[in-house]
Amino acid sequence: MRVLVTGGAGFIGSHVVEALRAHGHEATVFDIRSDPAHDVRDPDAVRRALSGVDAVCHQAAKVGLGTGFGDAPDYVSHNDLGTAVLLAAMAEAGVRRLVLAGSMVVYGEGRYDCPRHGVVRPGPRSVADLDAGRFEPRCPHCGTWLEPGLTAEDAPLDPRNVYATTKLAQEHLAAAWARSTGATAVSLRYHNVYGPRMPRDTPYAGVASLFRSALARGEAPRVFEDGRQRRDFVHVRDVAAANVAALEAEPPPGALTAYNTGSGTPRTVAGMARALAAACGGPEPVVTGEYRLGDVRHITADSSRLRTELGWKPEVEFEEGMREFAAAGPRDGAP
């Protein structure tokens, strides 16, 4: 299969390219990093790149929480306009297979259980609670502190920031394209991806990258809130393997199929920071109590659907992955 990988020179995309080639596929990189003319928002460049292509693995995106709402036009331009241009060109060229780099941020907060009301959806945490160090979400019905659980693909979608909103819009565009053309579309909703080639800290970098950069400077990682917020950290090679599995699968045509792509093992942010500090031989993390509006408290993956339907499973153990990540040098530039 000849696969066009948008963003194929980036952190995740470069691993996807390697995994595709290892499985006997021809992977073509389309990335503005390797060629300034390879802008996914340029219809002519995209049309040329799609010549002879069997499938597209769409990794190109502006990522991260951003630095304020002033970033909104840039996010929408790169993520949503870029995706619309790509899909329009695919429809014209007759390319009918897409794998999209989705994100767990489309869920907003994860799954929560109230002892009185069962599964509930908390609203955004109040500034008053955050300022007072009360970080756990409350039941919207009775105000009780909630117990987090694993989030499945059928959870309600509730993007809480500009980046999250653009990632959900990408899925809606892909679903509309699949319905219109009878094509197959898969969104892999990545959880917290880490591993070699992760970029050095930028305003858009992941928390693992920020912690590693601090440790490289001999500084303690600064952990926001109380450090007990839960995430699912999944190694980039496992994510790349999920992309290959999705490209080789036969999902139902005319619709978008979403899969959580995570390890399935919840870990606290402070726990990750401690593991990384130990792997680096650096100072213990410092829990600061700071917070960012727009951050969610807990979001961890139920990835059983991906395992069952595509036969995928994560292979890199967390401690092994953290040691490798600590030893790998940081990469310049945004992912």
Alpha-carbon distance of 159 to 251, in angstroms, equals 25
Closest CA to 293 of 127, 139, 167, 158: 127
Query: Does the active-site annotation cover 163?
Result: yes
CA distances from 21 to 1, 244, 289 (A): 10, 10, 45
The answer to whether residues 325 and 280 touch, using CB atoms and an 8 Å cutoff, is no
Task: Determine the longest span between alpha carbons in the chain, in angstroms.
Answer: 58
Of 114, 98, 117, give the one whose Cα is nearest residue 50: 98
Q: Give the separation between CA 196 and CA 119, rounded to whole angstroms.
A: 37
Which residue reads 């329009």 in tokens?
88
Q: Is 112 helix (H, G, I), strand (E, B) or coil?
A: strand
- State in Å, rounded, how far the first CA of the chain is from the last one: 26
Which of the residues 75, 163, 194, 204 is marked catalytic?
Answer: 163
Catalytic residue list: 163
